[in-house]
Amino acid sequence: MKKLVALAIAVTAFAGLVGAASANHAWGNYHWARTTNPFTLKLGDNVSSAWASYLATTSTDWSKSTVLDTTVVAGQSKGRCRPTAGRVEVCNGSYGQNGWLGVASIWANGSHITQGTVKVNDTYFNTPTYNTPAWRNLVMCQEVGHTLGLDHQDENFTNTNLGTCMDYTNDPASNQHPNTHDYQQLEGIYAHTDSTTTVGMSTGFLPDAVPSFTPAHRVSRSTYRTDLGEGRSLVTHVFWIE
């Protein structure tokens, strides 16, 4: 196959996010460290049967990138979607009426991602509005895309769809998969290599901290950051309901 995984996290002001698709939608300068391209990132399967096909589709879609592959493996997360070093754990659950459909979190040491999680919220996906294949596929694709280093191409729910899952929308029908711009952005994020790797490492060196969505941790419309000390951080992207 191909590939390598890295995540970049951009702290972009909300005012600059409204409007047409961004020419650069990397999620900052955070990325998975790796010594060669391409690389393979494991997606831990902690989801129910209702989500299994959407996780499989998402993995296939992002693996079309020329710089990385993703592969679905047995999940190692329990309860509140605990992260595992060197990979992304993907979970679903009834997380409550908190206003979000999905969240993607990464733990970073400096600019290097060391572990990540994706959560999709069944509290909303079990309602008639969101219990559709189009909504489930869009949110799963977008949240995993964030853990690869991508931000949104557009955050205006009412703009014309851009034909990518990295686009906010009120009608997900045509925003089901990555588009060419997403794959090009990944090529830019991973154009360099590192002297070490954080992909597939067996032990983590970041605390199992819990994302905080308080105003003190908010850095943009949908991004929250917690400083873990010594150059380490926990950064979360939230897919809010409009």
Query: Is 49 within the bounds of a domain?
Result: yes
- Helix (H, G, I), strand (E, B), or coil: what is residue 51? helix
Please state the pTM of the whole predicted model.
0.89
Question: What is residue 8's predicted lDDT score, i.e. its pLDDT?
Answer: 31
- Helix (H, G, I), strand (E, B), or coil: what is residue 22? coil
* Residues in contact with 105: Cβ distance below 8 Å, sequence separation at least 6, in sequence order: 83, 116, 117, 118, 119, 211, 234, 235, 236, 237
Query: Is 130 within the bounds of a domain?
Result: yes
In this predicted model, which residue has the larger pLDDT, 12 or 61? Answer: 61
Query: Is 52 within the bounds of a domain?
Result: yes
Query: Is 9 within the bounds of a domain?
Result: no
Find the domain containing 218 and state its range.
14-240
Report, as an integer, the average pLDDT of 24-50.
95
Kindly tell me if the per-residue pLDDT of 30 is higher than 90: no
Query: Is 171 within the bounds of a domain?
Result: yes
37: CATH: 3.40.390.10
Question: What is residue 172's predicted lDDT score, i.e. its pLDDT?
Answer: 97
What sign for the dihedral angle of Cα 206, 212, 217, 221?
positive
Question: What is residue 114's predicted lDDT score, i.e. its pLDDT?
Answer: 94
Query: Is 82 within the bounds of a domain?
Result: yes
Q: CA dihedral defined by 106, 155, 10, 62, rounded to 10 degrees? A: 60
DSSP 218: B
Query: Is 1 within the bounds of a domain?
Result: no
Report, as an integer, the average pLDDT of 209-214.
88
Q: For 158-194, how does the pLDDT look when each residue is reduced to its tens digit (9 = 90+)?
A: 999 999 999 999 999 999 999 999 999 999 999 999 9
In this predicted model, which residue has the larger pLDDT, 242 or 83? Answer: 83
Is residue 51 within 8 Å of 96, Cβ to Cβ? Answer: no
Count of positions (residues) in the chain: 242
Mean pLDDT score across all residues of the chain: 89
Number of domains, the chain = 1
Query: Is 123 within the bounds of a domain?
Result: yes
Question: What is residue 203's predicted lDDT score, i.e. its pLDDT?
Answer: 76
Residue 37 and residue 15: Cα distance in Å, rounded?
35
